[in-house]
Amino acid sequence: MPAPHRAPPIADLWEEVQRCTRCPLYRDATQGVAGEGGTPAALMLVGEQPGDQEDRAGRPFVGPAGQILDKALTDAGVDRARVFVTNAVKHFKNEPRGKRRLHRRPNTHEIDRCRWWLDHEIAIVRPKVIVALGATAARSVLGRPVSVGRERDAIHILPDGTKLMITLHPSYVLRLRDAPARRAAYDQLVAALGQADAAADPARKATTRLVA
């Protein structure tokens, strides 16, 4: 795989991810799940890692978290087709429990090893704005531990001038049992996506419909 500045086509990158052994996570996953979407794309969304359904489908954000994300994008007036969607970690980290595979959070070694692929994707996609969905994505992009509660919603400027916005992960919204808290978190996610889209393309006004 060439260095990030010699950006390969995204299809080649997908093939390369299937051969990745940079950390042990490939052993328990069905396949690697690289990002998908427009290239170039002004807006790039980075999640944590594929879940059970993404691992089987080979596509990011197609399971329950993906449904929340799709709804939030729609409510923010953002067409997913013009966004590049990916994850900080390309293989599903899981623990078998009977017939189920339980999600396990990637550790910092796995996140940092997988940054190699995110760098390649960024080189291909050339986003103006990256949205880190949750702490794992933010850790990957910034290369340091991040408190989403403290650092979310501000626009950070990365060394190459790309803007970064940190916001809630859709799975966090899903996990909230208290309906008003869930609604408030969802509205924050929608607002962040709208704000990031407006920053990626200032001609496009943030058109957030805060409807759950």
SS3 for 146-177 is CCHHHHCCCEEECCCCCEEEEECCHHHHHHCC
To the nearest whole angstrom, how small is the minimum distance from the Cβ of residue 191 to ligand URA?
A: 20
- Half-sphere CA count of 150, side-chain side, radius 13 A: 3
- Tokens encoding 101: 């595979």
Residue 57 to residue 135: CA distance in whole angstroms: 24
Residue of this chain nearest to ligand URA (CB atom): 47
Q: Which of residues 130-189 bind ligand URA (CB under 6 A)?
A: 171
User: Using CB under 6 A, which of 23, 61, 68, 141 touches ligand URA?
Assistant: 61
Beta carbon nearer to ligand URA, 61 or 186? 61
For residue 89, give the nearest of 187, 17, 195 by alpha carbon.
Answer: 17
Beta carbon nearer to ligand URA, 52 or 204? 52
User: Any contact of residue 37 with ligand URA (CB under 6 A)?
Assistant: no
User: Any contact of residue 48 with ligand URA (CB under 6 A)?
Assistant: yes
To the nearest whole angstrom, how small is the minimum distance from the Cβ of residue 48 to ligand URA?
A: 4
User: Any contact of residue 60 with ligand URA (CB under 6 A)?
Assistant: yes
Beta carbon nearer to ligand URA, 111 or 122? 111
Ramachandran class of 112: left when φ > 0, alpha when ψ lies in -120 to 50, beta otherwise: alpha
User: Using CB under 6 A, which of 49, 140, 167, 195 touches ligand URA?
Assistant: 49
Counting every residue written for the chain, the total comes to: 212
User: Any contact of residue 194 with ligand URA (CB under 6 A)?
Assistant: no
Ramachandran class of 126: left when φ > 0, alpha when ψ lies in -120 to 50, beta otherwise: left
Residue 136 to residue 68: CA distance in whole angstroms: 18
Which positions touch ligand URA (CB under 6 A)? 47-51, 54, 60-61, 63, 65-66, 87, 171
